Structure 1
């Protein structure tokens, strides 16, 4: 387990072992690539970040990951694979599940609900992007990205 303080000053505990926390994940973060580019979204207030959000009462955490990605990027993902989870010790602590997913379909005529749509960046472009959300700048994301790089070959075959 890795612990650090995020950019808001909250302690975050990150684990690459499933079920390591007593808090059940109700939030999701999705990492997907196509053609050597990461799927991100442009949040109008926060900037460039991976798609994600909150689980609805009626859905599984995997269904939430699929829905949130589609809503924020117009990209349908499938073959979700649990990758990590972390707890943010906010005023009301919460747990977020991190999934790796494959891109199934890119919808060109769908409607964005919460963001300005999909942004596709190479790993190099991602590292130098000046418009990253604060979520993308903390120690946890650095560790997640280093670990997920081993999956790049699988995505890009």
Structure 2
């Protein structure tokens, strides 16, 4: 287990074990790759981030991950893998989120991308992403850093 503080100074616990905090998390985050590029979305308020969101009633976290990628980027997932889970102890709430790595097969233009402006492709994620204003706070803590290291070490491509 890895413990650190997030962008808002909340305690975060991250684990690459199998669902250490909840078998039924209410949130998902999907680190996506499409044709050797990172697939992000531009949230209208927060900025650039990997797709993700809430698990809706009657759906599994994995189903939510697949849906969120499609809604926010138009991406069809070819392959998806659970890589970890994290828990944020916030001021008003505790958030538990599954993290997935997904290979995207194709991008389809959508009529709406909901709260985002659609897909954004990047050849790389900057090492100092936490200091770059255009990126969302979600990209600015240890979750991204540790997950990217895990993806690289475990040869996800």
The TM-score, its normalising length taken from structure 1, stands at 0.88
Secondary structure at 1:127's aligned position in 2? coil
CA distance in structure 1 between the aligned counterparts of 2:117 and 2:110, rounded to whole angstroms? 14
Partner of 2:122: 121
Partner of 1:140: 143
Question: Structure 1 residues 109, 149: closer, same or farther in 2, change over 3 A?
Answer: same
Contact 1:74–1:110 (CA<8 Å) still a contact in 2? no
Contact 2:66–2:77 (CA<8 Å) still a contact in 1? yes
Q: Kindly report the root-mean-square deviation, in angstroms, between the aligned alpha carbons of the 2 structures.
A: 1.8
Moved more, 64-73 or 136-145: 136-145
CA distance in structure 2 between the aligned counterparts of 1:71 and 1:110, rounded to whole angstroms? 10
Q: Deviations over 1:88-137 (max 9, x none)?
A: 111211210001112122102442111011111112x5436631111111
Contact 1:23–1:95 (CA<8 Å) still a contact in 2? no
Moved more, 74-83 or 42-51: 74-83
Partner of 2:99: 98
Partner of 1:55: 55
4+ aligned runs moved over 2 Å, structure 1: 108-111, 125-130, 149-152
Q: What 5-or-longer segments of structure 1 have no aligned partner? A: none
Partner of 2:109: 108
Cα deviation, residue 56, structure 1: 0.2
The TM-score, its normalising length taken from structure 2, stands at 0.88
Question: Structure 1 residues 150, 112: closer, same or farther in 2, change over 3 A?
Answer: same
Contact 1:14–1:140 (CA<8 Å) still a contact in 2? yes
Secondary structure at 1:3's aligned position in 2? strand
Q: What 5-or-longer segments of structure 2 have no aligned partner? A: none
Partner of 1:26: 26
CA distance in structure 2 between the aligned counterparts of 1:64 and 1:94, rounded to whole angstroms? 16
